[in-house]
Amino acid sequence: MAAAISGGVSAKPRSPLDGRARFARAILGKTRDLLMTPTGIAFGLFSLAVVLESAVWATCLYRLKSRHPHQWQHAEQPLLWQGRTLLSARRTMVYFQDQTYLSSLDEGGMRFCNRNRTMMLGAYWLTVMAGAALVVTLAVSGWG
């Protein structure tokens, strides 16, 4: 009997990393399962739309402020940058959508706003539609 025990294959001692690796695989598997639901996909698309809109909005306003300060003042943008959140992007979108920038006396600023209008409005409405799709998908499918 002793020969059978000593000649057999001995089990490797478990490392603490083995348990952590199993735990990580389990968590990643659950996360992947949740993200591959209709609501998870809608949430991912909405998140991408928010990031895209924020990047477009911030880039456009930065360039407007640095290249066309008179147009920046006309748009009343300094108020947006003093302690307000990105939700104030709505006010900027109304400025572009209603083409209020055309009443400015800054020719270069008007051209800049006109060139960037489609991109700004497109990113804004993409986020709105992705948010609505997320809400509908959440209501219909739930999270799981």
Q: Where are the domains of the chain?
A: 37-81+110-144
Tokens, residue 51: 């990031």
* 137: CB partners within 8 A, 6+ apart: 38, 39, 42
| Each residue's pLDDT tens digit, 8-57 | 555 665 655 566 666 656 555 555 555 678 888 899 899 999 999 989 98
* 108: CB partners within 8 A, 6+ apart: 67, 68, 71
Q: What is the pTM (predicted TM-score) of this model? A: 0.66
Contact yes or no for 106/74 (Cβ under 8 A): yes
Alpha-helical regions (H) of 8-106? 16-35, 38-67, 69-74, 89-97
